[in-house]
Amino acid sequence: MFTLTNCLILAGIIFAAGVWGVIARRNVLIMLISIELMLNAVNLVFASFARTHAGLAQPPQAHAGETGQLFALFVIAVAAAEAAVGLAIILTIFRNRATVDTDDMQTLKQ
Amino acid sequence: MATLIFWLVVLVTVASAIAVVTARNILHAAFSLCLTFLGVAATYIFLHADFVAAVQLIVYVGGILVLIMFAIMFSSNVVEDTAEGRRGLLALGAGAAGMAAVFAAVLLLTSRLAEPLKTANPCANVAYAATVSVEAGQTGIGHCLMGPYLLPFEVVSVLLLAALIGAVVIVRKEVR
């Protein structure tokens, strides 16, 4: 059934998958993809609450949930910027060190 | 019927989201990510957020995913099996703990926040947002973006410009 709780649980599962990916994988690209997953989950939560509050608000406060959707749009824009810069950094690291494995990036540690 | 479609969408989204994390081949992960993005877009349509769904398709599937594909092709040996690039049991435990924490947060949120907020909504006074309908929603987004949220909108455009210039500067070969 299509309810707020189900949407939030879906978002929670996607977010948890993203957290899992960032923690468990050592490939930087997979970690970046997982971050995109988490951002998507957050957007889903924004849209869910926007929809719910739009349906429940009384006439003087009535709206179609624009605020939540706008926040989702802003997050999408920031995610695009993040992906561009992140991939640029990954490509530079790969060019300099020929690896995308986080365990091989220990210059500061040594 | 709508319920059936919703569950189908949820199933595809969850399965592909987990496949993204567990896939051995990075390219398979990227393809699964495409399915996840599509599922999330479908959920947006269920949530009457049609414009966000369209933006999701254009920006994520059409932009970010292609960018990620390019990065994968450029930067790694795709055939290489990344099975040993995982951190085994510890990671599974941490992942399970993270999932539990997220679920607890979700349950808390649904019990506490499921009623309308009492704070003023800056978009509530927009004339076109008086009715709750999809068309009013799209019109309202435009009016909100050009009204109460004009400054964030412009700041985001500057941020995008700065990020793109930064990306170009980072990947550019040094010219001396």
Instruction: Please check whether residue B114 lies inside any domain of the structure.
Output: no
Instruction: Please check whether residue B98 lies inside any domain of the structure.
Output: no
Segment B94-137, tens digit of pLDDT: 777 777 777 777 676 666 555 554 555 555 544 444 444 555 56
pLDDT of residue A85: 93
Instruction: Please check whether residue B6 lies inside any domain of the structure.
Output: yes
Report percent pLDDT > 70 for chain B.
70
Spatial contact of B50 and A64, defined as CB atoms under 8 Å apart: no
Segment B23-46, tens digit of pLDDT: 888 889 999 999 999 999 999 998
Contacts of B44 (CB under 8 A, 6+ apart): A44, A47, B50, B52, B53, B56
Contacts of A34 (CB under 8 A, 6+ apart): A17, A18, A19, A20, A21, A22, A25, B20, B21
Q: How far apart are CA B78 and CA B46, in angstroms?
A: 36
The CATH number covering residue B38 comes to 1.20.120.1200
Nearest to B75 among A6, A57, A94 (CB): A94
Residue A84: pLDDT over 60:
yes
Domain, as residue range, for B54: 1-75
State the architecture of A4-104 in CATH terms: Orthogonal Bundle (1.10)
Q: How far apart are CA B168 and CA B176, in angstroms?
A: 16
pLDDT of residue A58: 54
Distance of residue A108 Cα from the nearest chain B Cα, in angstroms: 20
Tokens of A15: 């977010």
Instruction: Please check whether residue B8 lies inside any domain of the structure.
Output: yes
- Which residues from B are below 8 Å from A24, CB to CB? 21, 86-87, 91-92, 94-95
Measured CA to CA in angstroms, residue B99 lies from A15, A20, A31, B71 at distances of 8, 8, 17, 29
Spatial contact of B131 and A62, defined as CB atoms under 8 Å apart: yes
- CB of A22 within 8 Å of a chain B CB? The answer is no
| Total beta-carbon pairs less than 8 A apart between chain A and chain B | 269
pLDDT of residue A86: 93
Amino acid of residue B27: L
DSSP string, B55-77: HIIIIIIIIIHHHHHHHHHHHS-
- For tokens 């319920």, what's the residue? B3
What's the alpha-carbon Rg for chain A, to the nearest Å? 18
Instruction: Please check whether residue B129 lies inside any domain of the structure.
Output: no
- Which residues from B are below 8 Å from A81, CB to CB? 159-160, 162-164
Instruction: Please check whether residue B67 lies inside any domain of the structure.
Output: yes
- CB of B6 within 8 Å of a chain A CB? The answer is yes
How many independent structural domains does chain B possess? 1
- Which residues from A are below 8 Å from B122, CB to CB? 67
CB contact under 8 A, A67 and B123: yes
Q: Taking the domains of chain A in order of start, what are their residue ranges? A: 4-104
Q: Residues B75-101: what's their mean pLDDT?
A: 64
Instruction: Please check whether residue B130 lies inside any domain of the structure.
Output: no
Q: How far apart are CA A36 and CA A77, in angstroms?
A: 12
Instruction: Please check whether residue B87 lies inside any domain of the structure.
Output: no
pLDDT of residue A63: 57
ipTM confidence score: 0.88
Give which of A22, A36, A43 is closest to B51, Cα–Cα: A43
- Which residues from B are below 8 Å from A84, CB to CB? 67, 163-164, 167
Mutual angle of helices A4-24 and A28-56, in 10-degree steps: 170
- The whole-model pTM stands at 0.81
- CB of A70 within 8 Å of a chain B CB? The answer is yes
- Which residues from B are below 8 Å from A92, CB to CB? 170-171
- CB of A105 within 8 Å of a chain B CB? The answer is no
Q: Give φ, ψ of B76 to 5 degrees.
A: -145, 160
Segment A5-22, tens digit of pLDDT: 888 889 989 998 998 888
